[in-house]
Amino acid sequence: MLNGLIVVGLLVLPIVAVQQRGFDLRLVAGYVAVVGLLTYAVYASDKRRAEAGGWRVPEATLHLLEIVGGWPAAFLAQRWLRHKSSKKSYQVKFWLIVVLYQLIAFDSLEGWRFSRMVKNCFVR
């Protein structure tokens, strides 16, 4: 229950940003659901392979699924399957992805003010 509440809390800012940008929320939710199911399935498969001592899914693949929108499902898979939840190096990258989503959503709501500031530091 708590894990579900954490995911919902982390989704508030991105959902508000998506709505304010004028995207069809149903379409975005459908995309996130499909990517989420795929992400969860890959986590579950990797967990089974780890237990059986078989070929593993590369961590880069798991992170790619998180980056393309599967981070909510990845969070739940880590908690429910107890997979990749105690590996610190993995968790650092995972949480950087989650924070990046939050920062992008916040910047979007601020009219991309921070992105423009960063751009102006590098492009003259």
Could you give the percent of the chain with pLDDT greater than 90? Answer: 90
Give tens-digit pLDDT for 49-100: 999 999 999 999 999 999 999 999 999 999 999 999 999 999 999 999 999 9
Q: What is the pTM of this model?
A: 0.91
The predicted pLDDT at position 2 comes to: 87
* 65 contact partners, CB below 8 Å, separation of at least 6: 35, 38, 39, 42, 74
Task: Please give the Cα distance from 29 to 41 (Å, whole number).
Answer: 18
For the chain, give the mean pLDDT. Answer: 95
Torsion over CA: 108, 110, 114, 120 (sign) = positive
* 67 contact partners, CB below 8 Å, separation of at least 6: 97
Distance of CA 84 to the CA centre of its chain: 14
